[in-house]
Amino acid sequence: MSPLREDTIGPTRSLVPVAAALLAAVIGILCYYLGSDRLDFAAHFVAGLGGTMLLLSLLTIKRDEPLRGWPIVVVTAVACGIGVCCEALFFVEGGFDLVDVSNQSLGAVTAALIFAAWPVRGARSIVPWLLLALALLLGGAKLVSMF
């Protein structure tokens, strides 16, 4: 790594993936809100984004090296599987909706792409990512009126 690159890694650099995830959430909500009459599409996208961010952050909290490659793919697949289970368990009254699962999976893949492009490493850098993940999960639950 060049000296210039080493100088750019720090607290400010750790906010890049957080800003990218927040931007993806805002753009996702706006696109779903403007392009659909169902706000639950946006809720599933945001929940998939936040849930995958949470899983990725839990895997990297004790690591000094960034998570790369196949582990990110596996975590994303697990997050999509959890989304399918949640759709089957929590939204029974409306029936299993494959579109909701697709929106959740799109959020999960978005989180994985952000994480792969700007890996988060170390406990100090992971805190803003983790806080945003929890906020997005709660926001997704609020958008589908779970509470």
Digit-coded pLDDT (tens) for 45-87: 999 999 999 998 888 877 667 677 888 899 999 999 999 998 8
Q: For 94-112, what is each residue's pLDDT tens digit?
A: 778 888 889 899 999 999 9
DSSP class of residue 147 equals -
Question: Where are the chain's structural domains?
Answer: 14-143
Residues 17 and 128: beta-carbon distance below 8 Å: no
Q: What is the pTM of this model?
A: 0.81
Residues in the chain: 147
- Give the separation between CA 135 and CA 141, rounded to whole angstroms: 10
Q: What is the pLDDT of residue 4?
A: 40
Retrieve residue 40's tokens. 């639950």
Buried/exposed 121-135: b ≥16 CB within 10 Å, e otherwise: bbeebbebbbebbee
Q: What is the pLDDT of residue 84?
A: 92
Q: Taking the chain, what is the end-to-end CA distance rounded to the nearest angstrom?
A: 47
Q: Tell me which residue of 138, 143, 134, 145 sits closest to 55, measured CA to CA.
A: 134
Q: For 116-142, what is each residue's pLDDT tens digit?
A: 888 776 667 788 888 889 999 888 888
Q: What is the pLDDT of residue 1?
A: 43
